[in-house]
């Protein structure tokens, strides 16, 4: 195959649609390319998508905490009802509304996930600091409609997340009708798999004001495929592994490896779009993490700095994947960071 042929196939791969439901050959890909259709997983396709969100519906009022009220809520994403935890600080709503943090959780077995039962110390810290917190499920998690998929090889979770952001921006104070959330003061926090979703949020949407990523799966797509599972001692359970890699083999069979077809793989990798990020980013990693390689986080920091972006980076020796052993220090830095850009 000569260079010209490789370029044609690469461009066709970037543009082919329906990759998850069929196995298009090169001629089909070229035909779809002529029609100008984008792969639904590509960053450019996601940028062209619309994410209207919906009204947030309070499904259940939970027992309040000292400094904030708690609700199980729902919103709509691609016709699916997605559940989310909503925390609202007590007291007078600031002019224009509260700043808000979208909390993108990491991998949890979907049928065991509950909005209020996971990540308690994290969302409690943000709410106590005066932030509205919106912690969306992803489709197929808990009682949310739809089927769980892969965060790395399917677009579904980031679509749910972008609709969550749009929904929470519309939130009103039910007593006054004024804005409960300040739509100009939206921050995103992501852990592990949620860090990958957060990075995609940032290259797709330009209006997020600050983002913090803890132990994120934020490496280039080739490293996620080849330099992750074999480089850590943690061995995921069967369901975790299946969902993590869902669609991967089909994509490799259809488009070849990242080295064989960089055009396609770069098109779905947020690391290829770091130059477009306008959001300050803070990165945290525990150096005793057995689940995600430390260099996923340090590598992202180096790439961001090379691209001239505002980025901070913190390491915690002896701390695990959840940074439990240094939680107070990491959370204090994270809240100070959000305060700087959102308050």
d(CA 135, CA 113): 12
Question: Tens digit of pLDDT for each residue in 240-254?
Answer: 888 889 999 999 999
Stretch 19-23: mean pLDDT: 36
Do the Cβ atoms of 58 and 139 come closer than 8 Å? Answer: no
Mean pLDDT, all residues of the chain: 90
Do the Cβ atoms of 165 and 52 come closer than 8 Å? Answer: no
Question: Tens digit of pLDDT for each residue in 96-112?
Answer: 999 999 999 999 999 99
Return the closest-CA partner of residue 180 out of 280, 96, 275, 91.
Answer: 96
Q: Has residue 2 got a pLDDT over 70?
A: no
pLDDT on residue 177: 83
Domains within the chain, CATH numbers bracketed: 54-342 (3.40.50.1820)
Question: What are 70's strand-pairing partners?
Answer: 62, 87
Q: Measured between alpha carbons, how far is residue 2 from residues 5, 226, 259, 263, 266 in Å?
A: 5, 27, 16, 16, 21
Question: Tens digit of pLDDT for each residue in 263-315?
Answer: 999 999 999 999 999 999 999 999 999 999 999 999 999 999 999 999 999 99
d(CA 224, CA 217): 8
User: For the ranges 43-52, 229-238, 252-261, 269-278, which has the lowest average pLDDT?
Assistant: 229-238
The share of the chain scoring above pLDDT 70, in percent, equals: 89
> Which pLDDT band holds residue 238 (cuts at 50, 70, 90)?
confident
Helix (H) or strand (E) holding 210: strand 210-214
Q: Phi first, then psi: what are they for 71, rounded to 5°?
A: -140, 145
Do the Cβ atoms of 312 and 282 come closer than 8 Å? Answer: yes
Query: Long-range contacts of range 249-256, CB-CB < 8 Å, 24 or more positions apart?
Result: 250/19, 250/20, 250/23, 251/19, 251/153, 252/225, 253/23, 254/13, 254/19, 254/23, 254/24, 255/13, 255/19
Q: What global pTM score does this model have? A: 0.89
């Amino acid at each position: 195959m000569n260079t010209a042929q490789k370029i044609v196939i690469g461009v066709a791969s970037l543009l082919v649609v329906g990759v998850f439901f069929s196995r298009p050959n090169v001629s089909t890909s070229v035909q779809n390319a002529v029609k100008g259709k984008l792969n639904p997983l590509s960053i450019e396709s996601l940028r062209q998508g619309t994410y209207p969100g919906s009204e947030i519906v309070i499904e259940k009022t939970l027992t309040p905490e000292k400094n904030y009220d708690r609700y199980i809520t729902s919103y709509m994403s691609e016709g699916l009802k997605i559940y989310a935890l909503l925390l609202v600080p007590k007291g007078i709503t600031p002019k224009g509304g509260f700043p808000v943090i979208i909390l993108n959780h990491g991998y949890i077995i979907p049928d065991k996930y509950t909005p209020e039962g996971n990540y308690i110390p994290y969302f409690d810290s943000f709410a106590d600091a005066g932030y509205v917190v919106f912690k969306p499920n992803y489709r197929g998690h808990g009682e949310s409609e739809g089927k769980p998929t892969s965060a790395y090889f399917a677009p579904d979770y980031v679509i749910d997340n972008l609709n969550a952001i749009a929904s929470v921006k519309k939130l009103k104070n039910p007593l006054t009708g004024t804005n409960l959330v300040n739509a100009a003061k939206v921050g995103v926090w992501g852990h592990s798999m949620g860090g990958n979703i957060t990075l995609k949020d940032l290259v797709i949407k330009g209006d997020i004001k600050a983002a913090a990523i803890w132990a994120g799966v934020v490496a280039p797509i080739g490293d996620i495929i080849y330099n992750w599972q074999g480089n850590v001692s943690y061995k995921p359970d069967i369901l975790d592994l299946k969902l993590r890699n869902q669609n991967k083999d089909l994509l490799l069979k259809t488009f070849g490896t990242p080295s064989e077809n960089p055009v396609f793989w770069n098109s779905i990798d947020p690391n290829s779009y770091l130059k477009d990020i306008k959001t300050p980013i803070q990165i945290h990693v525990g150096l005793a993490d057995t689940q995600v390689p430390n260099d996923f986080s340090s590598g992202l920091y180096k790439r961001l700095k090379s691209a001239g972006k505002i980025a901070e980076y913190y390491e915690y020796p002896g701390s695990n994947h959840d940074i439990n052993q240094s939680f107070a220090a990491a959370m204090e830095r994270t809240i100070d960071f959000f305060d700087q850009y959102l308050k």
